[in-house]
């Protein structure tokens, strides 16, 4: 059997006395799209950052495609994993094209290949080509998030980590870009972990949903499995989109 794309075992990360991650184990098979959900402060970002070693855990093991993540220098590991930051973190002194090209440049791709890749990616995330020369300050919040996704995908990673990538988008664009990312995931046969607050998004895009609470995984499974989870908290969480939709229908129906 092929090794899982991501395998975390007994990860503990403390900030002072508080454990942000309290013994987390998670295995993501290659090709899976996982949604990571949970209340604010439950440790989603911390977990995502342990995967590419932006956060160093006190204990536990991390394996990427079967290899120990600690077995190579962190920068080299990170060049092979796409990461979309919650705060986006575009480089303000570089143009859109330069931002997207950054990891390929670090990998010493030749200039022609980089230029082709940048053009492809702008198309992929649905940004007009003339945006290439602009600086991040000259973009809207949503455009910046698209550039963030393009930058993460630039060096053709096999693993994509996304921390609330669609936060700054209007609902219509958000849904569209969500679908685009899911399509990219299929086309590039990525393994994707996406943090989101939006349960509907998680249900619609993910193969599997992982629920976190105060530094622990309290449930994981397909959306259908989780809908019937024994934990009333998880069931309530899974039920939230449906209840919201029903209330919306009732309101809008009344108004009509």
Ligand X SMILES: Nc1ncnc2c1ncn2[C@@H]1O[C@H](COP(=O)(O)OP(=O)(O)OP(=O)(O)O)[C@@H](O)[C@H]1O
Question: Strand order in 191-195's β-sheet?
Answer: 81-84, 159-163, 191-195, 33-38, 208-213, 216-221
Smallest gap from Cβ 81 to Mg ion, in A, equals: 17
Determine if 91 is a binding residue for other proteins (CB under 8 A): yes
Smallest gap from Cβ 39 to ligand X, in A, equals: 7
- With CB under 6 A as the contact rule, the residue among 44, 117, 185, 220 that binds ligand X is 44
| Angle, vertex CA 32, rays to CA 28 and CA 38, nearest 5 | 65
Place of tokens 């931002």: 99
Q: What distances in angstroms separate CA 145 from CA 20, 97, 119, 170, 173, one per listed residue?
A: 26, 14, 17, 12, 11
Q: What is the C-alpha separation between 152 and 79, in angstroms, rounded?
A: 9
Are 46 and 53 contacting, i.e. CB atoms less than 8 angstroms apart?
Answer: no
Residue 89 contact among ligand X, Mg ion, other proteins, none, beta carbon within 5 to 8 Å by kind: other proteins
Determine if 32 is a binding residue for ligand X (CB under 6 A): no
Determine if 54 is a binding residue for other proteins (CB under 8 A): yes
Smallest gap from Cβ 249 to ligand X, in A, equals: 29
Determine if 89 is a binding residue for ligand X (CB under 6 A): no
Q: Single out the residue of 93, 100, 56 nearest to residue 77, CA to CA.
A: 56
Smallest gap from Cβ 38 to ligand X, in A, equals: 6
Determine if 50 is a binding residue for ligand X (CB under 6 A): no
**CB of 45 or CB of 191, closer to Mg ion:** 45
Q: Single out the residue of 76, 20, 14, 18 nearest to residue 48, CA to CA.
A: 20
Determine if 117 is a binding residue for other proteins (CB under 8 A): no
Determine if 45 is a binding residue for Mg ion (CB under 5 A): yes
Contact map string, positions 71 to 90, toward other proteins, x by CB under 8 A: --xxxxxxxx--x-x-xxxx
Q: What is the DSSP letter of 39?
A: S
User: Of the listed pieces 34-42, 150-158, 178-186, 234-242, which binds ligand X according to CB under 6 A?
Assistant: 34-42
- With CB under 6 A as the contact rule, the residue among 5, 32, 34, 43 that binds ligand X is 43
Paired residues of 11 in beta bridges: 24
Smallest gap from Cβ 26 to other proteins, in A, equals: 20
Burial (CB < 10 A; 0-12, 13-18, 19+), residue 180, is: middle
- Which residues contact other proteins (rule: CB under 8 A)? 52, 54, 73-80, 83, 85, 87-93, 102-103, 106-107, 135, 151, 155
- Which residues contact ligand X (rule: CB under 6 A)? 15, 20, 38, 40-46, 86
């Amino acid at each position: 059997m092929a090794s899982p794309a991501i395998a975390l075992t007994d990860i503990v990360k403390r900030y002072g006395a508080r454990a942000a991650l309290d013994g987390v184990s998670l295995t993501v098979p290659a090709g899976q799209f996982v949604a990571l959900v949970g209340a604010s402060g439950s440790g989603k970002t911390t977990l995502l950052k342990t995967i590419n070693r932006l956060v160093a855990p006190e204990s536990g093991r991390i394996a990427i495609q079967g290899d120990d993540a600690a077995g190579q220098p962190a920068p080299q590991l990170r060049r092979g994993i796409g990461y979309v930051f919650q705060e986006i973190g575009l480089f303000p002194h570089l143009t859109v094209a330069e931002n997207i090209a950054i990891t390929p440049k670090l990998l010493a791709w030749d200039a022609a290949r980089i230029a082709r890749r940048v053009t492809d990616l702008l198309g992929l995330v649905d940004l007009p080509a003339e945006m290439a020369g602009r600086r991040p300050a000259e973009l809207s919040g949503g455009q910046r998030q698209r550039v963030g996704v393009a930058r993460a995908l630039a060096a053709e990673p096999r693993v994509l980590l996304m921390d609330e990538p669609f936060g700054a988008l209007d609902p219509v664009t958000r849904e569209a870009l969500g679908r685009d990312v899911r399509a990219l995931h299929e086309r590039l046969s990525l393994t994707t972990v996406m943090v989101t607050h939006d349960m509907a998004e998680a249900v619609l895009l993910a193969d599997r949903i992982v629920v976190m609470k105060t530094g622990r995984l309290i449930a994981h499974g397909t959306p259908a499995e989780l809908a019937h989870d024994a934990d009333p908290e998880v069931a309530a969480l899974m039920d939230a989109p449906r209840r919201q939709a029903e209330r919306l229908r009732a309101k809008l129906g009344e108004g009509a």
